[in-house]
Amino acid sequence: FSELVEEARLSARALLDYGESFFNPTIRLGVTGLSRAGKTVFITALIHGLVRGGRLPVFEALASGRIARAYLAPQPDDGVPRFAYESHLRALLAERRWPSSTVDISELRLVIEFQRGNGAERTLTLDIVDYPGEWLLDLPLLNKSYEEWARESLALSRSEPRAHLAAAWHAHLATLSAEGREDEPATLEAARLFTEYLRACRDDRFAMSLLPPGRFLMPGNLAGSPALTFAPLDLPAEGHATDGSLWAMMVRRYEAYKDIVVRPFFRDHFARLDRQIVLVDALAAFNAGPEALHDLEAALTGILDCFRVGRSSVLSALFRPRIDRILFAATKADHLHHTSHDRLEAVLRRAVNRAVARAESTGAEIDVVALAAVRATREALVARGRDKLPSLLGTPAAGESANGEIFDGNTEVATFPGELPADAEELFKGGAYRGLSSAAADGTDFRFLRFRPPLLEPDAGGEPALPHIRLDRALQFLIGDRLQ
Ligand code: GDP
């Protein structure tokens, strides 16, 4: 019954959205990616590019001068925080530091006044919805029982390198009996150790992607509530949860998590999106090695599965398919020389292709791009002995260090970026290949160096445009067709 109510709610919502969009053409664009993938920077740069007018040659409507004006408007959903565009932009432009990251959902509405190809004046409303990718990876839980989830999570945690990180949690787990009496202190401890294990997996050195439940790492206002206080148990092959058992308590809380966290997100946000960009910090995965890359591939498959979940219900099939374009974007491409940008794209395409094959009929158009929403480096040829090596110039953030040198945040240095292999397959095979190869002859390892945002000269017209890599291609794919 509750599923029917859910369906009815979804359909009513879809009708309302449809009605509004009929009179007032609107795209709801979802921007997601795991924590630190680059969502905040991407959205800030995208809005700035539209509102100020950036150098975006591939974004046809703007490049050909058909966009008369783009401006921010009050957002439609009163219960969702506004994306803090102004302060994020100030951080980038005036303070030359990266803005603070996404920890919750937020939204911003942009109105674009443009001229159609045939000369008619039109407006397109773009609602940008920014939400943590961790929430997206929770959607598959809707189709999973506690028992399925616990068995899968446990199996995953017993493979390397996860097993190593899970040692403390596993030791505690061994002291619990699923069929024993429910026990709050033991459950609190299990949830704490399980969450620590999840957090360790997300560490830079491991960069694991597949980690539901997402709210364990980003609890927000639910921190400490029972819906977030559960963990997988080692379940017997046979039997079921009896009243009053630890097992039954975990089942109850797992279901509460789905009711309180996952379903509302699906209904109020995810099911209403028209287009989606998924940002991926693929470089972090390369640096961590092949396991992280396989993990990323599994996470991307999981994400594409979510889009299928979105269209599997009978009633929503009555309405036009919602998400009709999905773009996977590898971010921070400015850490690589331009000769590697296509290779970065190829790796992501390879990771997604399998997912697309598995997810058969998502029905959506899918594309892949390697981009830098804000380009923090410049390319140059730097003399090394008799050779001139292609290198990147950038200003490492204050406190960053390489080769014993600690940077003050104001010194530009030349780095020799790692090269990606020409054959994407090599990265997935692992073994011989571990992370990016650093080309620095003296062994300096610049792979993890974080650069400050670029130093920009003020334009004659005021605010300078932000330099980027292929942001215009992303825009063209995501909204270009609606500005024809
Ligand atoms: P979010 O957690 O997905 O919102 O990620 P952010 O947008 O806050 O980005 C996380 C960090 O990645 C930033 O603080 C930057 O250090 C880095 N970053 C994001 N986008 C770019 C980019 O286009 N170029 C470079 N060089 N660094 C970036």
pLDDT digits (tens, 9 = 90+) for 228-282: 999 999 999 888 899 999 999 999 999 999 999 999 988 888 888 999 999 999 8
Ranking 70-79, 133-142, 192-201, 334-343 by mean pLDDT, the lowest is: 133-142
Rounded mean pLDDT, 295-320: 63
The Cα angle at residue 366 between residues 363 and 369, in degrees rounded to 5: 175
376 lines ligand 1 (CB under 6 A): yes
Q: Is the ipTM of this complex over 0.95?
A: yes
Asked whether the beta carbons of 70 and 119 are under 8 A apart, the reply is no
Predicted confidence (pLDDT) at residue 317 exceeds the cutoff of 50: no
Considering only residues 390 and 124, tell me which one the structure prediction assigns the higher pLDDT. 124
Q: Evaluate whether residue 220 is within a structural domain.
A: yes
* pLDDT confidence tier of residue 224, bands split at 50, 70 and 90: confident
Which percentage of the chain shows pLDDT scores above 70? 88
- Answer yes or no: do 116 and 87 share one domain: yes
Rounded mean pLDDT, 136-158: 90
Q: Evaluate whether residue 427 is within a structural domain.
A: no
Atom 15 of ligand 1, residue of closest alpha carbon = 98
For 114, the 3-state DSSP assignment is strand
CATH code of residue 352:
3.40.50.300
Predicted confidence (pLDDT) at residue 395 exceeds the cutoff of 80: yes
CA distances from 413 to 91, 359, 396, 439, 446 (A): 22, 44, 7, 15, 11
- Answer yes or no: do 160 and 118 share one domain: no
Asked whether the beta carbons of 138 and 260 are under 8 A apart, the reply is no
Q: Evaluate whether residue 254 is within a structural domain.
A: yes
Cα-Cα-Cα-Cα dihedral sign, residues 377, 379, 380, 386:
positive
What spacing in Å lies between the alpha carbon of 134 and ligand 1's midpoint? 17
35 lines ligand 1 (CB under 6 A): yes
* pLDDT confidence tier of residue 48, bands split at 50, 70 and 90: very high
397 lines ligand 1 (CB under 6 A): no
The Cα angle at residue 58 between residues 54 and 64, in degrees rounded to 5: 75
421 lines ligand 1 (CB under 6 A): no
Total-model pTM: 0.89
- State the DSSP code for 253: H
374 lines ligand 1 (CB under 6 A): yes
Distance CA 150, CA 313 (A): 26
193 CB-side CA count, 13 A: 20
- Answer yes or no: do 231 and 190 share one domain: yes
- Answer yes or no: do 221 and 293 share one domain: no
33 lines ligand 1 (CB under 6 A): yes
Torsion of CA 47, 455, 417, 438, to 10 degrees: -120
* pLDDT confidence tier of residue 436, bands split at 50, 70 and 90: low
* pLDDT confidence tier of residue 214, bands split at 50, 70 and 90: confident
Separation of first and last alpha carbons in the chain: 44
Predicted confidence (pLDDT) at residue 434 exceeds the cutoff of 60: no
46 lines ligand 1 (CB under 6 A): no
Asked whether the beta carbons of 108 and 72 are under 8 A apart, the reply is yes
Q: Evaluate whether residue 431 is within a structural domain.
A: no
Atom of ligand 1 nearest to the CA of 335: 26
The Cα angle at residue 304 between residues 303 and 306, in degrees rounded to 5: 65
What spacing in Å lies between the alpha carbon of 38 and ligand 1's midpoint? 4
- Answer yes or no: do 80 and 183 share one domain: no
Considering only residues 220 and 162, tell me which one the structure prediction assigns the higher pLDDT. 162
Rounded mean pLDDT, 190-204: 89
- Answer yes or no: do 174 and 219 share one domain: yes
44 lines ligand 1 (CB under 6 A): no
Atom of ligand 1 nearest to the CA of 44: 7
- Give pLDDT, residue 441: 43
**Number of domains the chain is built from:** 2
* pLDDT confidence tier of residue 130, bands split at 50, 70 and 90: very high
43 lines ligand 1 (CB under 6 A): no
- Answer yes or no: do 477 and 341 share one domain: yes
- Answer yes or no: do 90 and 208 share one domain: no
Q: Evaluate whether residue 384 is within a structural domain.
A: no
Q: Evaluate whether residue 420 is within a structural domain.
A: no
Torsion of CA 426, 441, 413, 345, to 10 degrees: -10
- Answer yes or no: do 57 and 96 share one domain: yes
Atom 28 of ligand 1, residue of closest alpha carbon = 332
101 lines ligand 1 (CB under 6 A): yes
Q: Evaluate whether residue 210 is within a structural domain.
A: yes
Atom 19 of ligand 1, residue of closest alpha carbon = 38
Domain boundary among 203, 233, 260: 260
37 lines ligand 1 (CB under 6 A): yes
Share the mean pLDDT of the chain.
85
What spacing in Å lies between the alpha carbon of 27 and ligand 1's midpoint? 25
373: left (phi over 0), alpha (psi -120 to 50) or beta: alpha
Token pair 């921007």: residue: 31
- Give pLDDT, residue 431: 47
The Cα angle at residue 23 between residues 22 and 24, in degrees rounded to 5: 95
Domain boundary among 202, 231, 260: 260
Predicted confidence (pLDDT) at residue 13 exceeds the cutoff of 90: no
Atom 14 of ligand 1, residue of closest alpha carbon = 98
Distance CA 417, CA 420 (A): 10
- Answer yes or no: do 126 and 11 share one domain: yes
Atom of ligand 1 nearest to the CA of 100: 8
Which of 39, 92, 97, 98 maximizes ligand 1 atoms within 8 Å of its Cβ, making it the mutation to test the pocket? Answer: 98
Atom 11 of ligand 1, residue of closest alpha carbon = 36
What spacing in Å lies between the alpha carbon of 145 and ligand 1's midpoint? 35
Rounded mean pLDDT, 40-49: 98
- Answer yes or no: do 188 and 227 share one domain: yes
What spacing in Å lies between the alpha carbon of 111 and ligand 1's midpoint? 25
- Give pLDDT, residue 443: 46
For 382, the 3-state DSSP assignment is strand
Rounded mean pLDDT, 64-78: 94
Distance CA 245, CA 251 (A): 10
* pLDDT confidence tier of residue 406, bands split at 50, 70 and 90: confident
What spacing in Å lies between the alpha carbon of 374 and ligand 1's midpoint? 8
Domain boundary among 260, 291, 309: 260
What spacing in Å lies between the alpha carbon of 281 and ligand 1's midpoint? 9
Predicted confidence (pLDDT) at residue 36 exceeds the cutoff of 70: yes
Containing domain of residue 197, as a range? 144-260
- Answer yes or no: do 65 and 99 share one domain: yes
- Give pLDDT, residue 440: 44
Q: Evaluate whether residue 409 is within a structural domain.
A: no
Atom of ligand 1 nearest to the CA of 43: 7
Asked whether the beta carbons of 138 and 213 are under 8 A apart, the reply is yes
